[in-house]
């Protein structure tokens, strides 16, 4: 029994070591971007995405939001959801055209920014969301590469936003 336990422990440690080695060779950074057109004016869409306190009403991944006043470096928006508590710093806010938010907690195993670019498109709005992300832990990097789409969060956000501006 001890022999089999030792074989299993050594095998798992080898797998973790190999995963960390491969993950360390993968780039920390990634870029994912999606664009869609919504049937609402840019001012309306921008109003929805910057009304942070109401995000739990329409975003399926957000349960609660706390807004921290600007400390001279930008307002902090703390989202409580499936990923735990993630604070975002509002870096750029250009009404009806651009919003940039950056993860404001360097202790998280990931970081990066989301850029929302809006422009008029007929009677609606073309919105492009770009995630410039980093995954710091090499084992998480390989897991992301194998099991998670870098587009999943953006796709879910755009789906929820589409439903919100339609209602």
> What 3-state class would DSSP assign to 154?
helix
Domain spans, the chain: 2-166
- Considering only CA atoms, which of 132, 134, 120, 138 is closest in space to residue 23? 138
Q: What is the C-alpha to C-alpha distance for residues 133 and 59, in angstroms, rounded to an integer?
A: 20
Query: What would the pLDDT profile of 71-120 be if each residue is shown by its tens digit?
Result: 888 899 999 998 899 999 999 999 999 999 999 999 999 999 999 999 99
Query: What average pLDDT score do residues 15-43 get?
Result: 80
Task: Note whether 116 and 129 are within 8 A (CB).
Answer: yes
Q: Which of the four CATH numbers 3.40.50.300, 3.40.50.970, 3.40.640.10, 3.30.530.20 does domain 2-166 have? A: 3.30.530.20
Is the Cβ–Cβ distance between 67 and 79 less than 8 Å?
Answer: no
Percent of the chain scoring above 90 in pLDDT:
65
CA 150 to chain centre: 9
Model confidence, pTM:
0.84
């Amino acid at each position: 029994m001890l022999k089999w336990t030792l074989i299993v422990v050594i095998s798992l440690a080898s797998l973790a070591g190999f995963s960390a080695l491969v993950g360390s060779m993968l780039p920390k950074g990634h870029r994912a971007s999606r664009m869609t057109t919504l049937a609402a004016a840019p001012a309306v869409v921008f109003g929805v995405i910057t009304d942070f306190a109401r995000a739990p009403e329409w975003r399926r991944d957000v349960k609660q939001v706390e807004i921290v006043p600007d400390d001279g470096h930008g307002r902090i928006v703390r989202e409580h959801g499936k990923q735990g508590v993630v604070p975002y710093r509002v870096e750029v806010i250009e009404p009806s055209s651009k919003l940039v938010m950056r993860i404001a907690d360097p202790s998280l195993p990931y970081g990066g920014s989301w850029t929302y670019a809006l422009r008029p498109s007929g009677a609606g709005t073309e919105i492009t969301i770009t995630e410039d992300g980093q995954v710091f832990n090499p084992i998480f990097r390989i897991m992301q590469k194998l099991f998670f789409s870098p587009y999943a969060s953006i796709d879910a956000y755009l789906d929820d936003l589409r439903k919100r501006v339609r209602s």
